[in-house]
Structure 1
Amino acid sequence: MPAQEDLLRLENQVCFALVTASRNVVAVYRPILEPLGLTHPQYLVMLALWEQSPRTLSDLSEELAFDPATASPLVKRLEAQGLVSRARRIGDERALDIALTEAGWALRRHALDVPGKVLEAVGVDANTLERLRDALLPFAGRRGVSGS
């Protein structure tokens, strides 16, 4: 096959590699998050709230690159689990504040093991995972950040 034709081979497409990797990453996290009672999207919401709580639903949606219609049911399920509370902001009834409950904060202690378990499951070291994350930043639309 001529080199020009190789450009259109599925295995040469970065989009295919990213979609496949994304699906596989969620599969790696699933058994690690299950004992915490979280799905991968719920884990992302909790990570954002552990960084800053309370936050508005629109802020969470923007930070996580979720459509608000996706974020709202996630937050409702976390509220049903007793991990977050939702309340209209005093002085701005349009804003819905999402805050961690005591149980939500307590879950953070258990979640501290998640990154190490992911490294173990994938069989790479933290530096390799960091380099991978940093290489993906142009595709994520985010500038460099610290942490894995």
Structure 2
Amino acid sequence: MIFGNFVSGLIILFERPVRIGDTVTIGSFSGTVSKIRIRATTITDFDRKEVIIPNKAFVTERLINWSLTDTTTRLVIRLGVAYGSDLEKVRKVLLKAATEHPRVMHEPMPEVFFTAFGASTLDHELRLYVRELRDRSRTVDELNRTIDQLCRENDINIAFNHCGHFTSP
């Protein structure tokens, strides 16, 4: 085990699949690489906790390096609208929210897809790109708020599950 981590540490140092400052996901852990040592690599997660990962995991497990060559990342925002909604109006509202947002890239252009007839919703996906990984959460928050406002202004009902309680006399 120690020898495997040592050899993996050498591979990391020479091949450089990760560098200090990179944002990575390895297994169920995501965060920023803060230290690379011979035996283990330290990742600081988004709660500012340091997670020490044996280097062997970087060689044997699936590794996503979100910032190795390009910090551009795709976002997918899902929206379920009520049955009977004007689908073309839904598409226009979602595209308006995306194209008017300052962090959303225009190349490639945002896209809207009607993905499914859900149990109580007409399901849509808004797919778009942002240049910086660090903008993901803020952009999703701002777009969700804008989409909610635009749906209200355009009489589009965002669907939700209804629960009925029936009692017998």
**TM norm structure 2:** 0.25
Larger Rg: 2
Query: If each structure's helix is expressed as a fraction of its own residues, which one has the higher value?
Result: 1
Query: If each structure's strand is expressed as a fraction of its own residues, which one has the higher value?
Result: 2
**TM norm structure 1:** 0.27
